[in-house]
Amino acid sequence: MSCGESLVIHACLGNLRPPDRIPARFNTLNDQQRRTVVSVLEFLAFDSESGFAAAACQVLEEYWIKNPFNSDT
């Protein structure tokens, strides 16, 4: 993976962190869109060849799993 590709994935992960505004910008996603985001994050978090496992797990835990650590949103 090139440095540019790595930067793009890190930027995407950063954009998927918990929203800091109310209403949250992710509230506009439908169920299929949410499932797609979660699927991508799970792939990055749990694929044995992923170089983004820690960051993707953090994003999942902060907002995208059923009972996230950041439950204010």
pLDDT, tens digit, 9 for 90 and up, residues 16-25 = 998 777 777 8
73 band by pLDDT with thresholds 50, 70 and 90: very low
Cβ atoms of 8 and 47 within 8 Å: the answer is no
- Quick check: 31 pLDDT over 80? yes
- Nearest alpha carbon to residue 62 among 9, 20, 5: 20
Quickly state the pLDDT bin for 41 (edges 50, 70, 90).
Answer: very high
